Amino acid sequence: MFESLTEKLQNVFKKLRGKGTLSEQDVSEALREIRLVLLEADVNYRVVKDFVSAVRERAVGQEVLESLSPTQHVVKIVNEELINLLGGTESNLDLSSRPSVIMLVGLHGSGKTTTAAKLANQLRKQGRKPLLVALDVYRPAAIKQLQVLGEQLGIPVFALGDKHDPVDIARAAVNSASSGGHDVVIMDTAGRLHIDQQLMEEISNIKQAVSPNEILLVVDAMTGQDAVNLAEQFNEALDLTGFVLTKLDSDARGGAALSIKAVTGKPIKLAGVGEKLDALETFHPQRMASRILGMGDILSLIEKAEAAVDEKKAKELEQKLFENRFDFEDYLEQLQQMKKMGPLDQILSMIPGFNRKILRDAEIDEKQLNRVEAIIRSMTPEERRRPEILNGSRRRRIAYGSGTSIQEVNRLIKQFEEMKKMVRGIVSMQEKGQRHAGVTWPF
């Protein structure tokens, strides 16, 4: 999402690094460029003004200008002010009561219904027992959409149809949750194409009826400046507890994410980062600031890996590698676990120091992973376990079955064999180290 913003900010810092020592004039010119970059990213002009003033006040001090690495000081200050702009620290959901009620509000197309399902899925993984509630009785098939998502996840959906008043449905849902042992109630309220009095009155009445722990405005990150106006109006009417930003995986300029906390004083609590029902994350201001400045996000990368990797299977794989029993069945399993972590470009962008331009120039094709998977799936179980039997006729059959070429099949087998040789070399070195040093080497 922040690709353009990141690239432009890195260019500003690159110019500063080329100067060696900085003058007050150098800092002023850099801040002027940062101001333009943020405005181009659709950040609210008041927010930009305050941000640049805060950075200027800290960056023109003698400690910075006379330090051995002034540019690093400036980058550090920009990073810290970005973190403040985004909310300082992550803000967790209030789930203190039983059941805890979470109201999702927003306009049509912001992703409320999908976000409700994603949030229910996330909370269930945390050991909660959520209940989804369909309160949108106006949009055609809105109730059905939530029910379908609930079925996919195996999470119950409370609905009374489109003939009932949403306030009555909300009350009944909370009562049902209490008697049914649900500890979280997630309410998918109705939206509109634009804010109107009827909408505000309805969700205000729901708020009064069920006293929600959280009222979260779901904001489409691609909305830009309109998102700030929307946030102000909803906050004035409902006293929001926070925001959910959707479509953070898009090519939006990012102005909404950098503006709404500063304008409303309410935190961004969650972020939608994809279309899948597990693509919802806690919003971490520190990590987001690091990604915006091109510093990576290694903590989120580790969390994604931990969520995707089965610890027991990882230990089994380690043993197989050590005993040189790694085959195409294991290769396929590792490929599937890697795909669980999310789009490859998102994963690579979390690596500190990773150059986004290199990523674009390399034209990493996610479809290539699908072709590799198709090749392996076209093998028989015996061929996956014993790659040495893959002769010419078998390779032709596999290429035909997977819709690929013989050259692609040969390339994959060659890469697989080279990887096994490399692993054998590492294991051999470890075994020698154990014999000579008399210690156990971690793999």
What string of pLDDT tens digits covers the 443 residues of the chain?
A: 456 667 777 777 777 776 666 677 877 888 888 888 888 777 888 888 888 888 888 877 665 555 546 667 777 888 888 888 888 888 889 998 889 999 999 888 788 999 999 999 999 998 999 999 999 888 878 899 999 999 999 999 998 888 888 999 999 999 999 888 899 999 999 887 677 788 888 889 999 999 999 999 998 877 767 778 888 888 888 889 999 988 776 655 567 777 888 888 889 899 888 788 888 888 888 877 777 776 554 445 555 555 555 566 666 666 666 666 778 887 777 777 766 666 655 665 555 555 455 444 444 556 677 888 899 999 998 998 888 899 999 999 999 999 989 999 998 888 888 877 776 666 566 555 544 444 333 33
- Provide the residue count of the chain: 443
Model pLDDT, residue 440: 38
DSSP, collapsed to helix, strand or coil, labels residue 368 as helix
Model pLDDT, residue 363: 47
Model pLDDT, residue 85: 83
Model pLDDT, residue 328: 84
Model pLDDT, residue 249: 65
Predicted TM-score (pTM) of this structure? 0.65
Closest CA to 113 of 174, 159, 182, 171: 159
Spatial separation of the C-alpha atoms in residues 431 and 436, rounded to whole Å: 9
Model pLDDT, residue 151: 93
Q: How many CB atoms lie within 10 A of CB 432?
A: 11
Backbone angles phi, psi at 370, to 5 degrees: -65, -35
CATH code at 100-293:
3.40.50.300
Angle at 119 between CA 232 and CA 271, to 5 degrees: 50
Taking each helix axis as running N to C, give the angle between helix 70-86 and helix 3-17, from 0 to 180 degrees, rounded to the nearest 10. 150
Residue 282 contacts residue 33 (beta carbons within 8 Å): no
Residue 87 contacts residue 80 (beta carbons within 8 Å): no
CATH architecture of 3-86: Up-down Bundle (1.20)
Model pLDDT, residue 284: 84
Q: Any residues with CB less than 8 A from the CB of 141 and at least 6 apart, and which?
A: none
Residue 244 contacts residue 134 (beta carbons within 8 Å): no
Q: Domain map of the chain by residue range?
A: 3-86, 100-293, 303-437
Which residue type does 66 have? E
> Read out DSSP for 293-343?
TT---HHHHHHHHHHHS-HHHHHHHHHHHHTT---HHHHHHHHHHHHHT--
Residue 225 contacts residue 249 (beta carbons within 8 Å): no
Taking each helix axis as running N to C, give the angle between helix 392-402 and helix 406-437, from 0 to 180 degrees, rounded to the nearest 10. 110
Residue 342 contacts residue 442 (beta carbons within 8 Å): no
Q: Out of 3.30.200.20, 1.10.10.10, 3.40.50.1220, 1.10.260.30, which CATH number does the structure's domain 303-437 have?
A: 1.10.260.30
